[in-house]
Structure 1
């Protein structure tokens, strides 16, 4: 009698491992999917930040004019962000402005005096990320990522 009860209880347990596997697999796959998607997002964000920093450093090289420094910064940042896919083509903007101390950027003439010091600000933005990343809920993927860098210019 004891052997028939054991056989009956084993028979009623058939398929339980398949159900357990399905539940565990869904949880594991969801975590793996999120890690891959956010890893791609962070790689794009760091790439944009690197392009902005390279552009800001390029403005420190000697140019004959302030406008030349701004154009050099924008061209280097554009070249450094060329690895991004065409669907997410980054937009680069560079500007040179006076340092006011409270993150205001006012475009005025720059000079070698401390009160006339200027900085270059490089901003690299990428839009349309939802077309590039695998589909996730809309709250999980930002619509825009950006990298921003600034450098104090020496105008001597």
Structure 2
């Protein structure tokens, strides 16, 4: 009986609080770290999606040709995604495609009829996220993120 009572005295329990604090701190710090990293990732993804949508909307403005509409969409998407850090420079692509068909983005003729309708597709992609985000396990961070938007073009 004496040995059990002797170990439960405050003198023998001195280091327990430090060990409990270390374990609890690691758990809470890991959760906070993951929330901050994924918050940054979602903010970047939302920014790329907004840039793609703004580029697709810009293609709806009047331009003299389909190529000018495509170029305007790419320029606006590139301008809107310019806030991204230089380490992760977004890659912007815009193309005008047929809505239906097997080879949609071959040289096409768009027209006002329903069978000749076309759409603009804007893709804003960012690679090299590992150098921007704080270090996480490789299975937890995607290699690239992208925003994609498309709009049906009205031709007259």
TM-score band, normalised by the shorter chain? over 0.9
Identify the residue that residue 60 of structure 1 maps to in structure 2. Answer: 60
Q: Distance in 2 between matches of 1:46 and 1:8?
A: 55
Unmatched tracts of structure 2, length 5 or more: none
Q: Distance in 1 between matches of 2:116 and 2:110?
A: 5
TM-score, normalization by structure 2: 0.93
Q: Distance in 2 between matches of 1:45 and 1:74?
A: 18
Identify the residue that residue 111 of structure 1 maps to in structure 2. Answer: 111
Stretch deviating more after TM superposition (9-18 or 128-137) = 9-18
TM-score, normalization by structure 1: 0.93
Question: Per-residue displacement from partner, 1:17-47 (whole Å, max 9, x unpaired)?
Answer: 1100000000000000000000000000000
- Match runs of 1:22-101 below 5 Å: 22-100=22-100
Q: Distance in 2 between matches of 1:71 and 1:26?
A: 50
Considering only aligned residues, what root-mean-square deviation do their CA atoms show, in Å?
A: 1.7
Question: Per-residue displacement from partner, 1:97-146 (whole Å, max 9, x unpaired)?
Answer: 110178x6333110000000000000000000000000001111111000
Q: Distance in 1 between matches of 2:16 and 2:100?
A: 68
Q: How many residues were matched structurally?
A: 152
3-state SS of 2:69 partner? helix
